[in-house]
C-alpha cells in the first residue's frame, strides 16, 4: 500500500547546519568578564537561535555586589555576539526572558538575515581586545578618538573624562585608597586567591599572574604571601605589604595613562535590564578603544565599595570595612563628581600602549556548550 506521507527530508549533520551560529559564539566568548569568570554557558536551539544561560557570583564573590558586575559582563557578551553576527550579514534580536530569576538570567539571541546590514568594523577588535594593566603613555587622547568613544556608547549613556596631570593624581590616590580596602578585606583575599593562576602567561578560566602588571619579584612575593590569609595579614602589618603591590598595581598605572573615565547611565541602571544595557555600552566602548589602538583597564573596585557604602550594607567580617568604604565613596564623589556615585556604571583608565604580552584566554566553545 502506498503511503501519502512524504519521506523525511535528509538532514545535514547538526554541526553543518549550526556552523554560522557556532562561529558567532566562538567569537562572542571573547567578551570580558570580571576576573575572567565567564559566568555563562550556551545552547544552540536552531541555526538561527542561540541561548545564553548566565548566572552571577554574588554568593561567594564580594565584588559581585547584587550580581551587577556579572550582569555588566553579560551585557558585554550580548554586544559581542551582536557585533560578531554582522560578519555573517545577520541582525540579532536580543530577548531577555522575563521568567528567569535575576541570579540566572537567560537571553535569547534570534538571528535574521538583513541584506542591508554592513559588517561592523569592530568585529576585528573582538579577539584583540584585552585588559592592559601596565603603565600607558601619558599622551592625551586625540580629539577625534575621544569623539568616537563618546559617540559609540549610544543613547542612554555618556562618558565623563578625567584628564590632565592633577586629575590623574587625584584618581591615582583614589585607586590607592580603594586598593588598601581590597587588600585588608578577608572576603576579597578569598576571591583573589581563587582567580589568579600562578606562573602563567595565559589562563583559560582565571587571570594569569603575568597579566597583573607587576614585576617578577613582586609576583614571587605575592605568591608566597597569598598562600594563607595569616601570611597576608603578617605582610600587611609588618612588611609594608599593602604599599608595595598597591604602588605597582594601582598608583603608578593610574598616573601613567591618558586619563580615566566613568560611564554614566542617563536613567537609574539598578535593574538587570539596566546593567545589561550598560554592559553593551561598555563593550562598544572597549572594542572602539581597541579599534583606535588604545588600551584600557577597568577600575571597578572604587565603584563597588562606594555602592556598599551608599546602600549601607556590611560586606566584611572586618567591622571597619564599611566605614572605609564610605571614605572611598566620599573621595570618588570628590574626584569624579557626585554623578559618579548616582549614575556611574563602569570606570577605568585608558591610553596609548602596546598590547599586553600576557592575557586571559577563554573556555572552549565545546565546554561552554556543554554547560
Distance of closest approach, residue 262 Cβ to ligand FMN, in angstroms: 13
C-alpha cell at 336: 569624579
Task: Write phi, then psi, for 344 (nearest 5 degrees).
Answer: -70, 130
CB 197 within 8 A of CB 207: yes
Is residue 262 classed as helix, strand or coil in its secondary structure? strand
Q: Which residues pair with 359 in a beta bridge?
A: 202
Q: Which residue is nearest to ligand FMN (CB)?
A: 32
Residue nearer to ligand FMN on the CB measure, 36 or 86 = 36
Residue nearer to ligand FMN on the CB measure, 133 or 168 = 133
CB 153 within 8 A of CB 252: no
Interacting residues of 123 by C-beta distance below 8 A, sequence separation 6+: 27, 83, 84, 86, 87
Greatest CA span in the chain, whole angstroms?
A: 92
Residue nearer to ligand FMN on the CB measure, 18 or 185 = 185
- Long-range contacts of the stretch 58-64 (C-beta < 8 A, 24+): 58/103, 60/190, 60/191, 61/34, 61/35, 61/37, 61/191, 62/185, 62/187, 62/188, 62/190, 62/191, 62/315, 62/316, 63/34, 63/35, 63/188, 63/191, 63/300, 63/301, 63/304, 64/34
Distance of closest approach, residue 310 Cβ to ligand FMN, in angstroms: 18
Distance (Å, whole) CA 202 – CA 358: 6
Distance of closest approach, residue 297 Cβ to ligand FMN, in angstroms: 5
Distance of closest approach, residue 69 Cβ to ligand FMN, in angstroms: 4
Distance of closest approach, residue 298 Cβ to ligand FMN, in angstroms: 4
Tell me, what DSSP letter sits at residue 248?
I
Q: Which residue has the cell 571597619?
A: 320
Distance of closest approach, residue 113 Cβ to ligand FMN, in angstroms: 30
Residue nearer to ligand FMN on the CB measure, 82 or 207 = 207
Distance of closest approach, residue 36 Cβ to ligand FMN, in angstroms: 3
Residue nearer to ligand FMN on the CB measure, 48 or 287 = 287
Residue nearer to ligand FMN on the CB measure, 18 or 38 = 38
Residue nearer to ligand FMN on the CB measure, 76 or 106 = 76
Q: Which residues pair with 159 in a beta bridge?
A: 263
Q: Which residues bind ligand FMN (CB under 6 A)?
A: 32-36, 69, 72-73, 76, 130-131, 133, 207, 297-301, 359-360
Closest among 325, 174, 319 to 246, alpha carbons compared? 174
Distance of closest approach, residue 148 Cβ to ligand FMN, in angstroms: 20
C-alpha cell at 218: 613582586
Residue nearer to ligand FMN on the CB measure, 18 or 69 = 69
Amino acid at each position: 500500500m502506498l503511503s501519502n506521507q512524504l519521506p523525511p527530508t535528509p538532514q545535514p549533520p547538526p554541526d553543518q547546519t549550526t556552523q554560522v551560529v557556532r562561529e558567532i559564539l566562538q567569537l562572542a566568548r571573547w567578551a570580558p568578564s570580571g576576573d575572567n569568570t565567564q559566568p555563562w554557558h550556551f545552547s544552540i536551539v536552531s541555526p538561527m537561535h542561540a541561548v545564553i544561560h548566565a548566572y552571577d557570583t554574588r554568593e561567594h564573590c564580594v565584588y559581585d555586589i547584587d550580581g551587577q558586575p556579572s550582569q555588566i559582563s553579560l551585557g558585554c557578551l550580548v554586544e559581542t555576539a551582536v557585533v560578531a553576527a554582522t560578519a555573517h550579514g545577520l541582525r540579532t534580536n536580543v530577548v531577555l526572558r522575563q521568567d528567569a530569576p535575576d541570579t540566572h538570567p537567560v537571553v535569547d539571541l534570534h538571528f535574521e538575515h538583513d541584506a542591508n546590514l554592513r559588517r561592523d568594523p569592530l568585529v576585528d577588535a573582538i579577539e584583540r581586545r584585552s585588559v592592559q594593566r601596565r603603565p600607558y603613555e601619558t599622551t592625551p587622547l586625540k580629539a577625534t578618538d575621544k569623539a568616537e568613544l563618546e559617540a559609540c556608547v549610544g543613547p542612554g549613556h555618556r562618558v565623563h573624562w578625567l584628564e590632565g596631570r592633577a586629575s590623574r593624581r587625584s584618581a591615582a590616590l583614589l585607586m590607592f585608597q580603594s586598593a588598601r580596602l581590597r587588600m585588608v578585606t578577608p572576603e576579597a583575599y578569598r576571591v583573589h586567591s581563587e582567580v589568579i593562576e600562578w606562573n602563567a602567561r595565559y589562563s583559560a578560566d582565571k587571570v594569569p599572574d603575568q597579566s597583573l602588571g607587576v614585576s617578577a619579584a613582586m609576583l614571587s612575593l605575592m605568591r608566597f604571601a597569598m598562600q594563607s590569609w595569616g601570611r597576608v595579614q603578617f605582610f600587611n602589618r609588618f612588611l609594608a605589604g599593602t604599599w608595595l603591590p598597591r604602588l605597582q598595581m594601582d598608583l603608578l598605572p593610574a598616573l601613567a595613562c591618558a586619563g580615566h573615565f566613568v560611564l554614566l547611565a542617563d536613567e537609574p541602571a539598578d535593574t538587570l535590564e539596566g546593567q545589561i544595557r550598560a554592559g553593551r555600552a561598555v563593550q562598544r566602548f572597549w572594542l572602539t578603544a581597541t579599534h583606535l589602538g588604545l588600551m584600557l583597564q577597568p577600575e571597578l573596585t572604587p565603584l563597588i565599595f562606594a555602592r556598599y557604602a551608599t546602600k549601607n550594607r556590611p560586606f566584611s567580617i572586618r567591622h571597619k570595612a564599611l566605614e572605609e568604604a564610605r571614605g572611598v565613596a566620599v573621595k570618588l564623589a570628590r574626584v569624579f563628581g557626585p554623578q559618579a556615585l548616582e549614575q556611574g556604571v563602569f570606570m577605568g583608565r585608558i591610553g596609548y600602549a602596546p598590547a599586553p604580552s600576557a592575557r586571559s584566554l577563554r573556555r572552549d566553545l565545546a565546554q561552554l556548550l556543554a554547560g
